[in-house]
Amino acid sequence: MSKEENKKLFIETLGCQMNDTDSQHIIAELKEHKNYSTTNNMEEADLIIINTCSVREKPVQKLFSEIGQFNKKKKDTAKIGVCGCTASHLGEDIMKRAPYVDFVLGARNISKIKDIVDKKGAVEIDIDYDDSTYQFAQSGTSLYKTSVNISIGCDKECTYCIVPATRGEEISIPLEMIVQQVAKDVANGAVEVTLLGQNVNSYGRRFSDGREKTSFTKLLQEVSKIDGLERIRFSSPHPLHMDDEFIEELVKNPKISKCIHMPLQSGSTSILKDMKRGYSKEGFLKRAKKIRDLIPEVRITTDIIVAFPGETQEDFEDTIDVINQVKFDQIFNFKYSPRPNTQALELEEKEIADNIGSARLTEVIELHKLHQSEHMESNIGKTVNVLFESLKPNGEVSGFTDNYVQVFVKGSDELLGRFIDVKITGASRTSLKGEVIN
Ligand code: 5AD
Ligand code: SF4
């Protein structure tokens, strides 16, 4: 294919880390095949892409007001494309509501970007499309970090969640392709990888070529054999599938980051049942305790949804109780938002009044702040090892510890890309300050 003149791409990414990676792939594919380079200025762009999220309702509403604004301010000749989960879920309705949109590309069809970018009116949202043969152009995120999708779609049926409807059934990407991709990124300077999937712990159960099953633990073992790779992160695991084999690997494999996301969603066993999460309050607490006991430095993060339909005060107090027992290091809080194509819509008559939902959300946030301060202050005086990755305009350099706390020190670009011991001298709720130990 002949290269065309250089064109500018403005891309906005909403939602989760999988969308970030998908956007990186879009950028890489359009650079390689269509000669696009990125710009941060929407008004000079030849192509505007919004990579959307449909997990909650607000971002969907925001999408339409935003593309309206883009349409007013863009160059006359510029095209607009809507990609990602809302594209999958609304399909051609997007063009009905916003006729100036040029193409719609679903979350499971990202690898087709180069084929549809010039097709006015194209809508590509097939969730059966088999893109497990992801052969993408080299993507370039941070110099030291890379992220790789290990599976697409989700086979769970959490009753509040739209993802299975937008991203389709779960298919794992072949293990050797993942290892090859990570090794390639490491050869290009990456020292850290994040393995991404909606439910990483179920990796290896279904491949598009019908090959034998494998497991996430096996994948972790293979990836960690790559020389030069120092840190492995992953997102998101599912508490139900964190089996003993996985926990053992987490404990003994020094390359695996000791920060683990355990999305609780609710602390009430009866709400967990209505959410179809597959574990009870006690089951979750047992697993979290086991991980904390085995890995003293572990940080545990979580997602919580308040005001799921039917959530009584007692149910909510169970959530508060779990928060008090686990003392999460980070909580991503959400108020339940009814989504199309989800089973929880059937519980409509049990919906919780918005003011109650807001009060519960505030309570979770305030309690969590106390735990966060406690955790962060406990680091003062300790020595931590930090991978430095960015230079700030105020002369500080920032990086992350193995258990994913952000640390700032005074320093220069000499620190970048290196693992360095730092003595912690100060703490805020979200980051630490320290001095490099020479
Ligand atoms: N309402 C509120 N929060 C939701 N999430 C997913 N679906 C919904 C919904 N309908 C949250 C869950 C999930 C995170 C990515 O988004 O907590 O773990
Ligand atoms: Fe949604 Fe549940 Fe799948 Fe996560 S595991 S993407 S919450 S259905």
Instruction: Per residue of the chain (438 residues), give pLDDT as tens.
Output: 445 679 999 999 988 888 888 898 899 899 999 999 999 999 999 999 999 988 888 778 888 999 999 999 999 999 999 998 888 888 999 999 999 999 999 888 888 899 999 999 999 888 775 554 455 555 555 679 988 889 888 999 999 999 888 888 898 988 998 999 899 999 999 999 999 999 999 999 998 778 899 999 999 999 999 999 999 999 989 999 999 999 999 999 999 999 999 999 999 999 999 999 999 999 999 999 999 999 999 999 999 999 999 999 999 999 999 999 999 999 999 999 999 999 999 999 999 999 999 999 999 999 999 999 999 999 999 999 999 999 988 889 999 999 999 999 999 999 999 999 999 999 999 999 999 997
Ligand 1 atom nearest 236 alpha carbon: 18
Instruction: Name residue 398's beta-bridge partners.
Output: 390, 408
Structure tokens at 391: 């230079």
The ligand placed nearest to the CA atom of residue 332 is 1
Ligand 1 atom nearest 332 alpha carbon: 17
Name residue 385's amino acid. N
Q: Is the CB of 336 under 6 A from ligand 1?
A: yes
How many angstroms does the Cα of residue 45 sit away from the middle of ligand 2?
35
**Residues 140/28, Cβ–Cβ less than 8 Å:** yes
Percent helix, strand, coil in the chain, to 5, is 40, 25, 40
| CA angle (266 as vertex; 364, 400 as ends), nearest 5 | 65
pLDDT at position 2: 46
**Residues 216/201, Cβ–Cβ less than 8 Å:** yes
Structure tokens at 35: 């000669």
Write out residues with Cβ below 6 Å of ligand 2.
Answer: 154, 156, 158, 161, 163-164, 198-199, 238
Distances (CA, A) of 17 to 14, 63, 202, 234, 393: 9, 18, 18, 10, 26
pLDDT at position 438: 77
Residue 293: φ, ψ to 5°: -65, -40
pLDDT at position 139: 53
Estimate to the nearest angstrom the gap between the alpha carbon of 387 and the chain centroid.
20
Phi-psi region of 102 (alpha: psi -120 to 50; beta: other; left: phi over 0): alpha
How many angstroms does the Cα of residue 392 sit away from the middle of ligand 2?
36
Structure tokens at 9: 């791409």
Cis previous bond, 236, omega within 30: yes
pLDDT at position 215: 96
**Residues 190/146, Cβ–Cβ less than 8 Å:** yes
Q: Is the CB of 52 under 6 A from ligand 1?
A: no
- Residue with CA at minimum distance from ligand 1 atom 13: 303
- Residue with CA at minimum distance from ligand 1 atom 12: 303
- Residue with CA at minimum distance from ligand 2 atom 1: 161
Ligand 1 atom nearest 303 alpha carbon: 17
Estimate to the nearest angstrom the gap between the alpha carbon of 312 and the chain centroid.
30
DSSP secondary structure letters along 58-77: HHHHHHHHHHHHHHHHS-TT
Of the candidates 376, 378, 270, 395, the residue with the CA atom closest to the CA atom of residue 330: 376
Pocket test for ligand 1, best of 86, 161, 336 (most atoms within 8 A of CB): 161
- Residue with CA at minimum distance from ligand 2 atom 4: 198
Reduce the DSSP state of residue 112 to 3 states and report it.
Answer: helix
Instruction: Name residue 304's beta-bridge partners.
Output: 265, 333
Q: Is the CB of 265 under 6 A from ligand 1?
A: yes
Reduce the DSSP state of residue 39 to 3 states and report it.
Answer: coil
Structure tokens at 106: 């679903």
